[in-house]
Amino acid sequence: MFTYKGYIGKILRVNLSRGTFHDEPLSNELAENFIGGAGMAARILYQELKPGIDPFSEDNKLVMLAGPVAGTMVPAGSRMGAYSKSPQTNSFFHSSCGGHFAPELKYAGYDGIIFEGKSPQPVYLFIDDGQPELRDARHLWGKKSYETQELLLEELGSGEIQIAAIGPAAEHMVRFAGIFCGCRALARGGLGAVMGSKNVKAVAVRGYGSIEIPDYARAEAYYKEIYAKFKATPSTSQVLPTYGTPVLVNANNSLGVFGYKNWQEELYPDAQGLSGEVMKEKIVKRNKSCFACPVGSGKYCVVGAGAYAGFINEGPEYEDIFSFGSMCGHNDIEVVCAAERFCDDMGMDAIEAGVAIAFAMECFEKGLITTKETDGMELRFGRADLILPMIEKMALRQGFIGDLLAEGVKRAAEKIGQGSEFFAMHNKGLTFAGHSARGMPGFALGYATGPRGGSHHDGRPTGERTGLVKRETIEGKAEYTARINHLNILTDSMILCHLAEAVWGPLDVTETVVQAINVVTGMDLSLEDGKKTAERIWNQIRAFAVREGYRRKDDKLPPRFMEEPIKDGPSKGMVISREMLDRMLDEYYAFRGWDKETGIPTRERLISLGLEDVAEDMEQYR
Ligand code: SF4
């Protein structure tokens, strides 16, 4: 019997091929060892997916989970997660978003959903206070993500309903299509494309249930303490409420670590036009917050004039400004705002989409593609007017260029060839977010070893960017990176928001995080237990990657980051050479107890983490 509080205690399994449902109880063992979110999903998918399957085949599964603290008063703790074998990386992928979907799913009676098989026709899943139903979605197929949500709210006749929907890009199986909950995106890794491949257009949830916690007095004391921490921490009480994540434009550019023109440079002389300060002045109307979060980092924006007048958006975030702005070589914040909204609406990851356009711009400027391949467009850096048309082409796979880039930068470079791999800015098939590898060696190691490749949430740039640790050296960066991995994966298993990392960490698993689990669930984890759990989950995910063929050779950076030093600015000359990366990898694997030659976790380390079955399984890959 499942005994922990906080959780609802069951997951809904939906067999789309047969149109059947099955309630599955959680087990204490699964919750204790893998907590929830990314950890729980990694374990489930490791056990249920055969290695080597096509992510778009019926054999793949899509898991959606709310974390154990979702729906409680733990601040910044009500994120929704999606999990699958990614069509971009061909390995386990996790993505999460804020908003209000996760609490509603739990109030509707479930911790999560596992989709398996494939529906013969487009459907949406409606869970109405514990009652699941698959409904015909043919009338929604082809609709954009926001329109789909609006139509469903109308159809279901209730504003209380929370919806997660895909846009046209996922229906066209654009490899970086996401899932959209309100204005929040489960964007990265192509999990929306997996949902589209299964003919699931949306999930709608409504519930009137509640979440039990073990001891209200203890919880109240914890809430008081944690809210005081949010208030006392400058990033969560001042910086993010005032500017949101776009504050990072000036922060990164002033250090010379702001990707510009497909990372050809890392100092953008005209970045001010994209800054959080200018954005606030020009388009921000008010703040928006996720469930039970005092931060309000979301920025509700309206473009008031010009070619994009009337575009309304909850954002852009820093990453969108990086991808659709500086990477594409322009500083028009209104274009970025419109582009991000349009990209969400078409249903794609804005980082991948913007970086794909920047990659194509560099290919065009170098003569590797011409107007013949771009349907007549002079696709040069600075052509802000071409960004929305390019988004549409990718989402609908229109023309040679749209279809090519819909495969993502990695596959596009493989097709174009001619040396374009040098500046295809991805690792493991996922493009890099807007944080420098060259200017932050520990973060570079996080990118290289990250199971998701170019994600900025496997490692984190914050420690080196803010000077908590020295960024000009590789000394000590192996352990530094591994500890941040652990903080990230534990918070991704609870599913806590990384924007509050200064409270949760920021450099390792802390009592603050572990106590949130204990207070809500009734577990009795020590700090050491929390750290070990994080390491167990990290190794479980690594084992998934090993099974899919990933080895040390894949823990790498693109040649541009390893051979081309930063050209100008405060970080001029910084680069992560092959030798530097090799040394950091040696130290990282040694700290982790992974084989130095292959990067496969050793049998001893897996057993010490309680992963005996995984240790056995790994033997065949050694
Ligand atoms: S910090 Fe921002 S993104 Fe994170 S939960 Fe709070 S409002 Fe949402």
CB 96 near ligand 1, within 6 Å? no
pLDDT tens sequence across 509-564: 999 999 999 999 999 999 999 999 999 999 999 999 999 999 999 999 999 999 99
Q: What is the DSSP string of 545-576?
A: HHHTT--GGGS---HHHHHS---SSTTTT---
DSSP conformation class of 321: I
Q: Within this chain, do residues 496 and 420 fall inside the same structural domain, yes or no?
A: no
> Binning pLDDT at 50, 70 and 90, where does residue 159 land?
confident
pLDDT tens sequence across 279-301: 999 999 999 999 999 999 999 99
User: Given ligand 1 and candidates 69, 235, 293, 501, which is best to mutate, with the most ligand atoms within 8 Å of its CB?
Assistant: 293
Per-residue 3-state assignment (H helix, E strand, C coil) for 496-545: CCHHHHHHHCCCCCCHHHHHHHHHHHCCCCCHHHHHHHHHHHHHHHHHHH
Asked if the structure places residue 566 within a domain, the reply is no
Q: Within this chain, do residues 443 and 420 fall inside the same structural domain, yes or no?
A: no
Asked if the structure places residue 250 within a domain, the reply is no
Give the nearest ligand 1 atom to 296 CA. Answer: 7
For residues 239-262, average pLDDT: 97
Residue 429: per-residue pLDDT: 98
Asked if the structure places residue 165 within a domain, the reply is yes
Q: Within this chain, do residues 426 and 458 fall inside the same structural domain, yes or no?
A: no
As given in the structure block, the two tokens for residue 257 are 């670590």
Give the nearest ligand 1 atom to 236 CA. Answer: 1
DSSP conformation class of 621: G
Q: Do 296 and 233 touch, CB atoms closer than 8 A?
A: no
CATH code where residue 94 lies: 3.60.9.10
Give percent of the chain above pLDDT 70: 100
Residue 164: per-residue pLDDT: 98
For residues 596-614, average pLDDT: 98
Q: Within this chain, do residues 14 and 121 fall inside the same structural domain, yes or no?
A: yes
Give the nearest ligand 1 atom to 77 CA. Answer: 5
Q: Does residue 155 register a pLDDT over 90?
A: yes
Q: Within this chain, do residues 182 and 40 fall inside the same structural domain, yes or no?
A: yes
Residue 339: per-residue pLDDT: 98
Contacts of 89 (CB under 8 A, 6+ apart): 189, 428, 429, 430, 451, 452, 453
Residue 459: per-residue pLDDT: 95
For residues 472-479, average pLDDT: 97
For residues 456-479, average pLDDT: 96
Q: Within this chain, do residues 497 and 615 fall inside the same structural domain, yes or no?
A: yes
Asked if the structure places residue 563 within a domain, the reply is no
Residue 552: per-residue pLDDT: 98
CB 98 near ligand 1, within 6 Å? yes
Q: What is the DSSP string of 67-85?
A: -TTTTSS-TT---EEEEEE
pLDDT tens sequence across 26-45: 999 999 999 999 999 999 99
Count up the domains in the chain and report the number. 3
For residues 597-609, average pLDDT: 98
CB 293 near ligand 1, within 6 Å? yes
Q: Within this chain, do residues 310 and 197 fall inside the same structural domain, yes or no?
A: no
CATH code where residue 396 lies: 1.10.569.10
Q: Does residue 124 register a pLDDT over 90?
A: yes
**Beta-sheet pairing, 10-15 with 20-25:** antiparallel
In this structure, the residue with its CA closest to atom 4 of ligand 1 is 497
Contacts of 169 (CB under 8 A, 6+ apart): 176, 177, 192, 193, 196, 346, 347, 348, 394, 395, 396, 406
Q: Within this chain, do residues 70 and 144 fall inside the same structural domain, yes or no?
A: yes
Residue 480: per-residue pLDDT: 98
pLDDT tens sequence across 210-245: 999 999 999 999 999 999 999 999 999 999 999 999
Q: Do 70 and 101 touch, CB atoms closer than 8 A?
A: no
Q: Within this chain, do residues 426 and 446 fall inside the same structural domain, yes or no?
A: no
Asked if the structure places residue 187 within a domain, the reply is yes
Q: Within this chain, do residues 152 and 266 fall inside the same structural domain, yes or no?
A: no
Asked if the structure places residue 401 within a domain, the reply is yes
Q: Among 177, 206, 235, where does a domain finish? A: 206
Residue 158: per-residue pLDDT: 82
As given in the structure block, the two tokens for residue 57 are 């085949």
For residues 259-266, average pLDDT: 98
Q: Do 589 and 581 touch, CB atoms closer than 8 A?
A: no
Residue 596: per-residue pLDDT: 97
CB 99 near ligand 1, within 6 Å? no
Q: Within this chain, do residues 39 and 188 fall inside the same structural domain, yes or no?
A: yes
Q: Ligand 1 mean position to 457 CA, how many Å? A: 15
pLDDT tens sequence across 86-106: 999 999 999 999 999 999 999
Q: Among 430, 463, 485, where does a domain finish? A: 430
For residues 300-319, average pLDDT: 95
For residues 262-277, average pLDDT: 98
Q: Ligand 1 mean position to 116 CA, how many Å? A: 31
User: Which SS3 state, helix, strand or coil, does residue 582 take?
Assistant: helix
Give the nearest ligand 1 atom to 497 CA. Answer: 4
Q: Is 130 left (phi over 0), alpha (psi -120 to 50) or beta?
A: left
Cα–Cα distance for residue pair 173/171, rounded to 1 Å: 5
CATH code where residue 476 lies: 1.10.599.10
Q: Ligand 1 mean position to 479 CA, how many Å? A: 28
The residues pairing with 124 across neighbouring beta strands, listed in sequence order, are 135, 202
Q: Among 408, 430, 452, where does a domain finish? A: 430
Q: How many helices (H) and strands (E) does the chain have?
A: 27, 17
Give percent of the chain above pLDDT 90: 99
Asked if the structure places residue 570 within a domain, the reply is no
Q: What does pLDDT average to over the chain?
A: 97
Q: Within this chain, do residues 395 and 487 fall inside the same structural domain, yes or no?
A: no
Asked if the structure places residue 498 within a domain, the reply is yes
Contacts of 412 (CB under 8 A, 6+ apart): 356, 359, 360, 404, 405, 420, 424
User: Given ligand 1 and candidates 497, 498, 501, 503, which is best to mutate, with the most ligand atoms within 8 Å of its CB?
Assistant: 497
Structural domain boundaries, residue 128? 10-206
Which carries the bigger pLDDT value, residue 183 or residue 365? 365
Give the nearest ligand 1 atom to 293 CA. Answer: 6
Q: Ligand 1 mean position to 14 CA, how many Å? A: 30
